[in-house]
């Protein structure tokens, strides 16, 4: 039995999304238990709305406070000790749950995760890693915004963690790791990237060298490493561009009666396409490098997307991701590979 | 009469693209003269292939060497003094042409442009600026890769140059300028971005504050500023994602006989969509900050795309972009606004 604590109040829609997502997930996961953490009355009202009968698959755990989506992380950490986010992470710390999932304030969730769970030995700072679709399959990219400035040593740690995560989740023995840069030649890039390139080359990882932005989506790599500044801009640019392209396709099909009719004909194809790039299927970013599993859902996630974030948490717990990272880092430290 | 020097040998396809593009452009631009710079025999053979009669609208200017697409810029600058790229830029320096257009090696073109033309007074380093489509119209983004590390003062210079370029080309008196960052709050981002934010706030520009990656494509801004490392990754990520989405759409329409038939019906709409996001229509990046106009075409550009790069050069010459930047910077320096 695996237990996951959900921050039921987090995200743009709170219980309106987290509760139905939880109930939906449980339908297909008989060996999963969920703890819905949040204001008891709000959670129970929503459960009643879905006619959810008491079950040994879920419990409600009261937490009186909510962290605002725009609340400064330090303030949330200091003043909201009984927030749904904090209590969900506390449950992981205490061993009452094996993972926490939240759609709440990213900065506050990261600060709380670091404060409560601490980073793994050998890891300076946790990173945010997520999956993106590619031409052939998908790729894992980190960091997506936890660390705006990174040292080469930290980027090496990210590469190691990303590589272990892919091994654990997908059974690949030697995941291909690339370093995001502005060119593929050794002389390209800033000093940090060049230094990291050297560290990765002499590491035990299956390092494929520098990759440029357009190689993110080709599917030739398993893990792509960058600092959180670049990673966040890359991710959000991709979201914005995908939105614009979808908008243009819709506009063109809505242009006149004839195009509207052709839209009807093309509908099944357009749906198949939409499903394929549906960002909801990739929802759920991991705060990697913590002593425990914390998954961040997109704040605007709907129940379908939030369910995917829960399933990501489940997969990582089943495959002991943090334990494997801790163990392999310890082994590397013994060999003198990392500090 | 405006004269533009074309590096006829540059790019992946050389004269096979540059010569037909030149001939096509001249058809619609009676007041334009083009100098085709390159190996005379290759250029003239291609001209004959297109049955181009001698005309006072174009001349061939011999240059014996070609800079390789992967040649180190410093080496090209030192050893290839009679390259088509170098000679085209020399013609601008001498006043025989008002702009140079090349699809050649970006680094070598930038190094040559800086060496021959020098930067404008008050500008530390030139930047690469281009136009990207947005939901509503388009946006100008810089730097796209000339400078991997930038100081806040350089980023301010980029903002000023981008703003003047938009004013000059589009007649906007107060272009809206944004600074690319990982969040919109003052506390977000790295030290360089925070310092630049302060400089922009106290500048005379119409500064709209921090913008995130997904705001590039909304069309709410005229100019977006970032360093060349982030800009290059952002641009290439966008290219890669657009390619993947196009690939998926094609795949879905090719799946079976039924989807192939619906593709036939949807063809006019798909063409309209494709035309709208056609990157060839946005081909032609400007090396802004030089004493003269140098336009870089995509190396893989076809004749249609290369024609757009020539037209970009023409528009900038017509609107005296470098002169206006020089003049306004001098005025700002006098007022003590910039160094």
Window 278-337 of A: residues touching B by CB (8 A cutoff) are none
Give the distance from residue A255's alpha carbon to the nearest chain B alpha carbon, in angstroms.
9
The closest alpha carbon to A203, from A332, A334, A330, A322, belongs to A332
Number of Cβ atoms within 10 Å of the Cβ of A44: 17
Give the distance from residue A146's alpha carbon to the nearest chain B alpha carbon, in angstroms.
10
Six token digits for residue B58: 């174009």
DSSP sequence for B174-232: S-EEEEE-S-SSTT-S-HHHHHHHHHHHTSSSEEEEEE-GGGTTT---SEEE--HHHHH
Window 34-73 of A: residues touching B by CB (8 A cutoff) are 70, 72
Tell me what percent of the residues of chain A surpass a pLDDT of 90.
Answer: 79
- Return the pLDDT at B223: 98
Place of tokens 């893990």: A223
Q: Which of B148, B214, B261 sits opposite A190 (nearest CB)?
A: B148
- Return the pLDDT at A333: 81
Contact A103, A11 (CB under 8 A): yes
CA dihedral A22, A28, A31, A36 (to 10 degrees): 0
Under an 8 A CB cutoff, do A189 and B244 touch?
Answer: no
Instruction: Give B305's contacts (C-beta < 8 A, 6+ positions apart).
Output: B279, B280, B283, B297, B298
Instruction: Provide the CATH number for the domain formed by A1-119+289-320 in this structure.
Output: 3.40.718.10
Average pLDDT of the segment spanning A269-280: 82
Under an 8 A CB cutoff, do B214 and A226 touch?
Answer: no
- Return the pLDDT at A271: 83
Counting beta carbons within 10 angstroms of the beta carbon of residue A277, is it exposed (0 to 12), middle (13 to 18) or buried (19 or more)?
Answer: middle
- Return the pLDDT at A193: 95
Task: Identify the three-state secondary structure at position B279.
Answer: helix
Six token digits for residue A77: 């950490």
B205–chain A Cβ distance below 8 A for any pair:
no
* Residue A97 clears pLDDT 70, i.e. is over it: yes
Query: What span, in angstroms and rounded, lies between the C-alpha atoms of B158 and B70?
Result: 27
Give the distance from residue A231's alpha carbon to the nearest chain B alpha carbon, in angstroms.
9
Give the distance from residue A330's alpha carbon to the nearest chain B alpha carbon, in angstroms.
31
Query: What span, in angstroms and rounded, lies between the C-alpha atoms of B31 and B8?
Result: 20
The closest alpha carbon to A225, from A98, A121, A128, belongs to A128
| R_g of chain B, CA atoms, integer Å | 21
Pick the CATH number of B124-288 from 3.30.70.270, 3.40.718.10, 1.10.3090.10, 3.40.50.880: 3.40.718.10
Give the single-character DSSP code of B64: -
Six token digits for residue B155: 């980023």
B94–chain A Cβ distance below 8 A for any pair:
no
Instruction: Provide the CATH number for the domain formed by B1-120+290-320 in this structure.
Output: 3.40.718.10
- Encode pLDDT of A328-338 as tens digits: 988 888 877 66
Under an 8 A CB cutoff, do B213 and A232 touch?
Answer: yes
**Residue ranges of chain B that CATH labels 3.40.718.10:** 1-120+290-320, 124-288
Give the distance from residue B298's alpha carbon to the nearest chain A alpha carbon, in angstroms.
14
- Return the pLDDT at B284: 94
- Return the pLDDT at A261: 82
Six token digits for residue B213: 């990656």
Distance of CA A286 to the CA centre of its chain: 4
Six token digits for residue B263: 């593709």
**Residue ranges of chain A that CATH labels 3.40.718.10:** 1-119+289-320, 124-287
User: Closest-CA residue in chain B for A237?
Assistant: B213
* Residue A54 clears pLDDT 80, i.e. is over it: no
Helix (H) or strand (E) holding A232: helix A228-253
- For A129, phi and psi rounded to 5 degrees? -120, 140
- Return the pLDDT at B337: 64
Under an 8 A CB cutoff, do A248 and B277 touch?
Answer: yes
A-chain residues near B221 (CB < 8 A):
none
Under an 8 A CB cutoff, do A240 and B276 touch?
Answer: no
| Domain A124-287: CATH superfamily, name plus number | Isopropylmalate Dehydrogenase (3.40.718.10)
Instruction: Give B315's contacts (C-beta < 8 A, 6+ positions apart).
Output: B169
- Return the pLDDT at A264: 79
B264–chain A Cβ distance below 8 A for any pair:
no
Full-model pTM: 0.92
Q: Over its length of 339 residues, how does chain B's per-residue pLDDT go in tens digits?
A: 899 999 999 999 999 999 999 999 999 999 999 999 999 999 999 999 999 877 889 999 999 999 999 899 999 999 999 999 999 999 999 999 999 999 999 999 999 999 999 999 989 999 999 999 999 899 999 999 999 999 999 999 999 999 999 999 999 999 999 999 997 777 788 899 999 999 999 999 999 999 999 999 999 999 999 999 999 999 999 999 999 988 888 888 888 888 888 778 788 888 888 888 788 888 999 999 999 999 999 999 999 999 999 999 999 999 999 999 999 988 888 876 665
Give the distance from residue A142's alpha carbon to the nearest chain B alpha carbon, in angstroms.
14
Contact B6, B288 (CB under 8 A): no
- Encode pLDDT of A194-249 as tens digits: 999 999 999 999 999 999 999 999 999 999 999 999 999 999 999 999 999 888 88
User: Closest-CA residue in chain A for B230?
Assistant: A230
Check the CA dihedral A263-A268-A271-A276 and report its sign. Answer: negative
B-chain residues near A188 (CB < 8 A):
148
Window 100-159 of B: residues touching A by CB (8 A cutoff) are 133-135, 145, 148-149
Q: Which of B134, B148, B212 sits opposite A189 (nearest CB)?
A: B148
B-chain residues near A190 (CB < 8 A):
148-149, 229
Give the single-character DSSP code of B135: S
* Residue A150 clears pLDDT 70, i.e. is over it: yes
Check the CA dihedral A243-B305-A215-A210 and report its sign. Answer: negative
- Return the pLDDT at A60: 95
Give the distance from residue B5's alpha carbon to the nearest chain A alpha carbon, in angstroms.
28
Query: What span, in angstroms and rounded, lies between the C-alpha atoms of A303 and A18?
Result: 6
Under an 8 A CB cutoff, do A214 and B234 touch?
Answer: no
- Encode pLDDT of A187-204 as tens digits: 788 899 999 999 999 999
Q: Which of A135, A212, A232 sits opposite B182 (nearest CB)?
A: A232
């Amino acid at each position: 039995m695996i237990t996951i604590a959900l921050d039921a109040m987090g995200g743009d829609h709170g219980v309106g999304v987290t509760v139905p997502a939880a109930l939906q997930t449980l339908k297909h996961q008989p060996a999963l238990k969920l703890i819905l953490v949040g204001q008891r009355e709000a959670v129970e009202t929503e459960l009643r709305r879905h006619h959810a009968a008491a079950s040994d698959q879920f419990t409600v755990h009261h937490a009186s406070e909510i962290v605002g989506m725009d609340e400064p992380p330090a303030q949330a950490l200091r003043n909201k000790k009984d927030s749904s986010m904090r209590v969900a992470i506390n449950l992981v710390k205490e061993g009452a749950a094996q993972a926490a999932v939240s759609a709440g304030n990213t900065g506050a969730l990261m600060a709380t995760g670091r404060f409560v769970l601490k980073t793994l030995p050998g890891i300076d700072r946790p990173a945010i890693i997520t999956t993106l679709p590619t031409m052939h399959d998908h790729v894992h990219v980190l960091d997506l915004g936890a660390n705006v400035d990174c040292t080469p040593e930290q980027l090496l740690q990210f590469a190691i963690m990303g590589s272990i995560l892919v091994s654990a989740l997908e059974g690949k023995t030697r995941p291909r790791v690339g370093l995001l840069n502005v060119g593929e030649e050794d002389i390209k890039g800033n000093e940090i990237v060049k230094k990291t390139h050297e560290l990765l080359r002499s590491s035990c990882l299956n390092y494929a060298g520098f990759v440029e932005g357009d190689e993110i989506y080709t599917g030739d790599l398993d893990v792509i490493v960058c600092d959180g500044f670049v990673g966040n801009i890359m991710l959000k640019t991709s979201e914005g561009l995908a939105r614009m392209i979808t908008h243009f396709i819709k506009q063109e099909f809505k242009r006149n009666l004839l195009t509207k009719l052709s839209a009807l004909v093309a509908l099944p194809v357009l749906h198949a396409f939409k499903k394929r790039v549906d960002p909801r299927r990739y929802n759920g970013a991991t705060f990697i490098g913590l002593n425990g599993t914390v998954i961040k859902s997109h704040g605007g996630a709907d129940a379908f997307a939030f369910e995917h974030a829960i399933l990501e948490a489940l997969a990582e717990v089943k495959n002991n991701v943090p334990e494997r990272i801790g163990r392999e880092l310890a082994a590397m430290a013994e060999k003198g590979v990392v500090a």
